Structure 1
């Protein structure tokens, strides 16, 4: 496999899609050895088929705001690969949404879903619609218009969407309600549903819980634990909330959170009261975190900066892609960071990841560490199919087991001769083998 030729060809066909090309580059570099050792992959052109999505649906979304003005947004669904199960991936509603980001997310989702061992393919969708500042009625009209365009290509055995940035329980409810009306059936086609109509317990916290469980496994390989560890977290949405809850439960201390306005540094760490306040702050439909210091004046607010300058034991970027760059990595390393865990998708730039590897620091990529969200989504699909509900303890135990098994396969394929675990290589190889072997079994499609 000539990685450079494949990437050059992709860049020619898809110019300017930097996030997508970055994701492909990382995977191809990691799997080159295993790919070259198995000529059957080359013969079937697995890589050339795997790096392009099965299909992309792009559509116009027309809706009417509360002032009676017609608004236009663009929507997409990228169905990337369904070799091991129905397409599965979230719907992102954010002004930054474009095809490059959705293709990168769908590509990553393919491997992430494979790592869970559950029968789910990879997909992603979304729109440049911004739910911030919109009324419930406006969001409902947008979601209904979005689903009017999407409903024909999704289904419980075809494509199962979920939440993502900007898409929470409210948005999923509006979309599912419209789907149910159009399709004239009541099936578990969405995950992240409300608990009173088919949702799973701990789904909102699952990504953060799962990442924390993965980190716990990393710590245990070093005969270490969360007890007494300081942790920096970015963002303050569902993902950061789940991380804060579980890290605190396991004895760690989360000392940062962030928004687009800057970050909070709370040296005393989060507790139940502070986490509850964050939930109310997030529910206010406002991204800013600065009000935290008014409620808890012992904390500091640092405007316009990211939390990676704070000296901590564990850094867990939990907001958005490429939020931790090479300069941030240098500061973290100089300050003595011991573990770095991507809770956001591709949260670290390639320069940052290279530095962590050079310094032999344990670094977990998002496709492994944040698989807990889609893992519990898969459990929700199972509960819907069987018409049952598991308890919080049952779901949490299954999530813990999923994350433990992901850590095991990452260690299996990522351990170097010197004992260092390259979790990026391990996750990419494990996910690739599962998807590639399924593609081989099913012929050229």
Structure 2
């Protein structure tokens, strides 16, 4: 049962359900699997009490949604942000279940976090929170049970503190968290994985639908939102390949560079964000214009590729219309559920017209590279090995290629009206392919029949 107070989860469930309609009509027995899979296996909620630097106690709400373990241990990030609530974490865990299925690795789906805000806190305050948080979470996770990772607000510093707390509390050094430091169990390419993976996925979309806008051309214009890990490394990969990055953003506004961002400026933004800074402090940088309170989607006259890489529902229907007007051909999410349902409708209706329409990839497909390399980190931890940078990058490229092919084939089979100039829906393809894999494993385990 979906509660009215869970709008983000309801949105994710509605997307999956609508995407499955043609498949369910042909395979009605799978309706039972849909009824079962939408309910999480376990939801944990607890309080976290921590002291600030003045010795004053504070309390935050914390959660871990262990959504589905049909394909492996629960796997998904920990979000630290004031917006965190059960609806958001249920939607993220639900999406994670099918995203992980699309990687081809043995991982279930989960998500967790707290309404704690790391911004403005000292390192010691963050450490005290992480230790208090892990004091409860450690009871419910493990290398073969539930393996959390980072997410918004949870970077390398926070993962390190949480790992240290787990190690002390459990007296064991195991791969219970991913996103660890390279010298103590982490994987090469993990920080870059989500951003790089989006670009590897987009390269396949371009090859099929828009070969006239290759990422190797300086004439290809790419708009990116966000300025965290995903956005930074997506931008750096685009710049490396040769295309032009026009935008980055944060919660306060957008930076637009009509001449294109340089590698040096993106690196500077990365250093700024590590210190908790905002893009408004770069408003006077040469070659950029800062737009307070605005996302980038309505600020550009011409865009070929749009990559939402900030947070959920960051592209509205109005902004989607603006992107279509600007000539966008490819939209791929680096964030989870980055587009509203209405925005997706704009892109999908454009696709149905054929020709120069927009081809849209949902986050559960295009941004699965992050969790894929987390899965590779788990494999390296199990072997007590660390694979070379080039080897992990090659495996990531292979996983994104396989994910694209799975989505394309399922989309071609289950999208109404696809064929000829009308491209298959990657939304349908990703949802159907991920759902079938999870549902079949659940049926084998006796969860439905």
Q: Which runs of 5+ in 1 are unaligned?
A: 1-9
Residues 108-257 of structure 1 aligned to structure 2 (within 5 Å): 108-222=95-209, 223-224=211-212, 225-226=214-215, 227=217, 228-257=219-248
Q: CA deviation at 1:281?
A: 1.1
**Which of the residues 401, 405, 422 maps onto 1:408?**
405
Paired with 1:129 and 1:290, the residues of 2 have a C-alpha distance of 24
Q: CA deviation at 1:39?
A: 4.1
Residues 383-402 of structure 1 aligned to structure 2 (within 5 Å): 383-402=380-399
Residues 275-286 of structure 1 aligned to structure 2 (within 5 Å): 275-286=266-277
Q: Where does residue 445 of structure 2 map in the other structure?
A: 442
**Which of the residues 237, 254, 259 maps onto 1:263?**
254
Q: Where does residue 5 of structure 1 map in the other structure?
A: none
Paired with 2:28 and 2:18, the residues of 1 have a C-alpha distance of 17
Q: Where does residue 30 of structure 2 map in the other structure?
A: 41
SS across alignment from 1:291: helix
Q: Where does residue 433 of structure 1 map in the other structure?
A: 436
Matched, 1:312 2:303: yes
Matched, 1:86 2:76: no
User: Which sits farther off after the overlay, 223-232 or 207-216?
Assistant: 223-232
Matched, 1:349 2:340: yes
Paired with 2:177 and 2:150, the residues of 1 have a C-alpha distance of 9
Q: Where does residue 67 of structure 1 map in the other structure?
A: 54
Paired with 1:203 and 1:425, the residues of 2 have a C-alpha distance of 28
Q: CA deviation at 1:31?
A: 1.1
Paired with 2:154 and 2:228, the residues of 1 have a C-alpha distance of 11
User: Which sits farther off after the overlay, 223-232 or 115-124?
Assistant: 223-232
Q: Where does residue 374 of structure 1 map in the other structure?
A: 371
Q: CA deviation at 1:381?
A: 0.4
SS across alignment from 1:346: coil
SS across alignment from 1:324: coil
Count of matched residue pairs: 430
TM-score, normalised to structure 2, is: 0.94
SS across alignment from 2:19: helix
Matched, 1:31 2:20: yes
Paired with 2:220 and 2:166, the residues of 1 have a C-alpha distance of 45
Q: Where does residue 354 of structure 2 map in the other structure?
A: none
Q: CA deviation at 1:15?
A: 2.2
